[in-house]
Amino acid sequence: MAPKTFKSVAEQDRYYKSLAPTFPYLNEPTASRDRDVLLVRAEQPFNAEPRLPQLVEHMVTPVTRFFKRNHGPIPTLDPANYTLTIQVVDGPTTVWRLDQLQMQFDTHEVMAAVQCAGNRRDGLNRVNKVKGVIWGPGTISNAVWSGVKLRDVLVASGVPADPAHSTYQQWHVDFKAYGLSAEDECYGSSVFASKALNPHEDVLLAFKMNGQVLPRDHGYPCRVIVPGVIGARSVKWLRTVTVQPHESLSFYQRRDYKVLPPQANATNLALYWDTISALQAMNVQSVICEPTEDSPRPLDNQPYTIKGYAISGGGCRIDRVDVSLDNGKTWLVARLFRPVSSSAARRNPELNDLPTTKHWAWTLWACQVESGIPKNAVLVCRAWDANGNTQPSEPTWNYRGVMNNSWFKVDIAKCPAALLTKAHM
C-alpha cells in the first residue's frame, strides 16, 4: 500500500476521477452541515469545525454542529447490502449483515467526545508552518452514541473471550473503511486489542448518534467509537475488522498522527516513523470558548461568565479547570459540568466510574467574574486531570501539528470593541 500524496488539488481530482466512474464529491450530504455555525476549512474532502461560542451551547453537540473530519469523499452505502467482515489472523472470517449486528447483540449507549489530534493545529502553525488542515480549537464535539460493543461481536466471531488470553496482551484490532481516501487506498487505523476486547471499556460499533440514525457525514451505517483516544481511531463507514499481531499498516497509523520531534520536517520525517508511537489516548486539554478574540469585547464593569470545554485521555476525569485574567499570574477555579458517560453508571449510580476510567464525555466549565473583565486582561485556562496531569504553558512545535494542548489564551485587547447598548449606558 504505497501512501498517496498530491502536489495539487487538480492532481488529487485526477486521481479520484481515475478510481471512480463518477466524480466522488457529487454525492456529498448537506443535511448534517449547518454552514452558519461551521467554519469550513476544506470543501473536498469536507472538513469543518463549529464556532466556539456555539460549540459549548449544548452538552450534547447537535449533529449539524458536530465537527466533520474527512480524508476523502463521503461514501454512499446501502444498509440492505452493507456487510462488516471480521477476520481473526489464524482464525475464522465472519461476514455480518447490518440487521444481524443490530439484532444479535445487546445495545449500549455511551456519551463520548471525539477530538481530532489536529485540534488547535493553528496554534502550532503560528510557531512555525505545519502540514495539514489548519484547524482552530473546535475540532472536538460530544455525542451520545448507541450500538453494540465491539468486544461482543469479536467474541461471537471467534476471538477468545478470556481476558488472560495472549490476544489481549500483544495484539491489535485493525479497522478499514469503505470509500476512497486521499493518502492511502482506504482509511484505516488500529487500537490495542487490550482496549477493544476489555469488557470494562466501551468501544462501540455505533449505528446511532444522539438517538438518530448515524448521519452519512459521521459514518452511516456503522462506525467505530473508541472513547478516550484520538478521533483518528474511530473509523467511519466500517468495512473490515482484523484481529492481528501487528498494528494497522495504514498511512494514518504508521505515518500520520504521531508527535514528531521538533527537528523533523518535510524532508527527513521518514526517519522517525518507526520509533515514534502511533497516538492513542488524548492528552489533557481545555479551551476558552467565550469570549473569543473575534467576538465583541466584554464590558469591563459588567459581570461576565467565561465558558469552555475540557477533556482528558483514556477516560480520566477532569478534576479542575483554572482560569486566569492576568496571563497566568493568578488563577480562579471554574465550575464544572461533568456528565456521567456510561449508560450502565447512569442507570445504576452504585456503579460509579473511578476517577481515572470511563469519563468519556467532555466537561463543560464556566467561570463567573463578578467585577467584570479588565480591558487589558489576558485570559488563560488550564485543566487538571485525576492523574495530576495539566497543560504546558507553551506549545512544543511538531511538523504534523498534533496534540497541541498548551495554555489556551484570549487577549481581550484583540477583541473588537463592544457596541454599547442602552442597557449598558
Ligand X SMILES: Nc1nc2c(c(=O)[nH]1)N[C@H]1C(S)=C(S)[C@@H](COP(=O)(O)O)O[C@H]1N2
Cβ at position 61, least distance to Mo ion in Å: 16
- Candidates 263, 258, 195; CA nearest to 403 is 258
Instruction: Give the x/- contact pattern for ligand X in 169-188, rule: CB under 6 A.
Output: --------x---------x-
Taking the least distance from each CB to Mo ion, the nearer of 141 and 242 is 141
Instruction: Mention every residue, 6+ apart, whose C-beta is less than 8 A from residue 347.
Output: none
Q: Are 202 and 147 a contacting pair, CB within 8 Å? A: no
Residues 57 and 65: their CA atoms lie apart, in Å, by 10
Residues 378 and 365: their CA atoms lie apart, in Å, by 18
Among 33, 41, 65, 69, binds ligand X (CB under 6 A): 69
Region near ligand X per CB under 6 A, out of 61-69, 98-106, 151-159, 303-311: 61-69
Distance (Å) of CA 371 to CA 166, 303, 315, 374: 60, 6, 36, 9
Region near ligand X per CB under 6 A, out of 13-21, 151-159, 235-243, 327-335: 235-243
Among 108, 149, 172, 218, binds ligand X (CB under 6 A): 218
Cβ at position 176, least distance to ligand X in Å: 9
- Reading the block at residue 337, the C-alpha cell is 459540568
Cβ at position 183, least distance to ligand X in Å: 10
| Order of all β-strands in the sheet with 363-369 | 285-290, 304-311, 363-369, 335-337
Taking the least distance from each CB to ligand X, the nearer of 311 and 377 is 311
Among 24, 215, 219, 231, binds Mo ion (CB under 5 A): 231
Among 55, 86, 88, 116, binds Mo ion (CB under 5 A): 116
**Does 237 interact with ligand X (rule: CB under 6 A)?**
yes
**Does 220 interact with ligand X (rule: CB under 6 A)?**
no
Residues numbered 337 to 356 that lie near ligand X (CB under 6 A) are none
**Does 231 interact with ligand X (rule: CB under 6 A)?**
yes
- Reading the block at residue 62, the C-alpha cell is 447537535
**Does 77 interact with ligand X (rule: CB under 6 A)?**
no
**Does 325 interact with Mo ion (rule: CB under 5 A)?**
no
Q: Could you tell me how many residues of this chain bind ligand X (CB under 6 A)? A: 17
**Does 224 interact with Mo ion (rule: CB under 5 A)?**
no
**Does 114 interact with Mo ion (rule: CB under 5 A)?**
no
Region near ligand X per CB under 6 A, out of 102-110, 232-240, 333-341, 361-369: 232-240
Taking the least distance from each CB to ligand X, the nearer of 226 and 367 is 226
**Does 234 interact with ligand X (rule: CB under 6 A)?**
yes
- Candidates 297, 293, 292, 291; CA nearest to 419 is 297
- Candidates 176, 187, 174, 175; CA nearest to 72 is 187
Residue 108 partner contact from ligand X, Mo ion, none using kind-dependent CB cut-offs of 5 to 8 Å? none
Residue 221 partner contact from Mo ion, ligand X, none using kind-dependent CB cut-offs of 5 to 8 Å? none
- Tell the burial category of 327 from Cβ atoms under 10 Å away from its Cβ (0-12, 13-18, 19+): middle
Long-range contacts of 167-173 (CB under 8 A, 24+ apart): 167/193, 167/197, 167/243, 168/193, 168/194, 168/197, 168/198, 169/193, 169/194, 170/245, 171/243, 171/244, 171/245, 172/243, 172/244, 172/245, 172/246, 172/247, 172/248, 173/197, 173/241, 173/242, 173/243, 173/244
Among 84, 86, 98, 116, binds ligand X (CB under 6 A): 116
**Does 235 interact with ligand X (rule: CB under 6 A)?**
yes
- Reading the block at residue 392, the C-alpha cell is 504546558
Q: Using CB atoms, what's the residue nearest to Mo ion?
A: 116
**DSSP classification of residue 407:** -
- Reading the block at residue 300, the C-alpha cell is 469591563
**Interface residues toward Mo ion, by CB under 5 A:** 69, 116, 231-232
Binding site for ligand X (CB under 6 A): 66-71, 114, 116, 177, 187, 218, 231-232, 234-237
